Structure formats: structure tokens, C-alpha cells
Amino acid sequence: MIIGTGKEKAISTSEILRSYHDQFSRILNSGGTRLMVIGYSFSDEHINQVLIGARERGLRMYLVNPGGLEALGQERSELSKIPLAGLSTRPLSTTFGDSDDPSFSSFLRFFAG
């Protein structure tokens, strides 16, 4: 994990980080991938580009974010074109704290495939 700015440069100069990024991209672009995104701000362009590219190969995203679709931002219209497999704005502590919670049932359906 890289915190702060300069992430793309840090990835390009680190063999292990480059390997992680390549593997992330390869898996998402393998076709028909489902990805649960929890609390990501969508502010890292190098990650966003992988997500947008994987959309063309059938990526479906389950978004877990208190801001809901607003997390994608107005200026990120390409990200908003990624089909959603689900959406939860509930805190994970309440979702997993009650097995009767609709969000919990939605999570189970996502993981069941």
C-alpha cells in the first residue's frame, strides 16, 4: 500500500509493487470478474484506468461506500459506466452485525456468485 502522492512512480520503481499492480490488472481483465470495492475514494488514476479497462471485459462491481454512487464523482463518468453487482451505503459493522439485514443478504448473494 502506498499512501500519499507519487504512487505511479513508486509502483514503476518497485518490482513487488509493479507485480501487484500487474496481477490486479490481469485478474480484473480476465473476463467476467466481480470486484467488491469497500471505501475506495476513486482518486487514484492508475487504479481507475484498470477498472475502466476491465469494464470492457465484463467487470461488475459491488460498491460499499457511505457516499453511495456519489463516491464515483461527477467528473468520473467513465467509472459510473461500470455495471454494479450491488451497492451498500451501510457501515460494515451493522451489515455484519445482523444476519437479517438486507445488506448482509446482498453480500451473501454476491459472494455466492
Q: How many whole angstroms separate alpha carbon 75 and alpha carbon 98?
A: 36
pLDDT, residue 74, reads: 67
Of the two residues 41 and 50, the one the predictor is more confident about is 50
Provide the strand spans (E) within the chain. Answer: 34-38, 60-64, 84-88
Instruction: Confirm if 83 and 53 have CB atoms less than 8 A apart.
Output: no
Q: How many whole angstroms separate alpha carbon 48 and alpha carbon 99?
A: 32
pLDDT band for position 61 (cuts 50, 70, 90): very high
pLDDT, residue 38, reads: 93
pLDDT band for position 47 (cuts 50, 70, 90): very high
Architecture of domain 8-112 in this structure: 3-Layer(aba) Sandwich (3.40)
For 78-88, what is each residue's pLDDT tens digit? 999 999 999 99
pLDDT band for position 73 (cuts 50, 70, 90): confident
Q: Where along the chain do its domains lie? A: 8-112
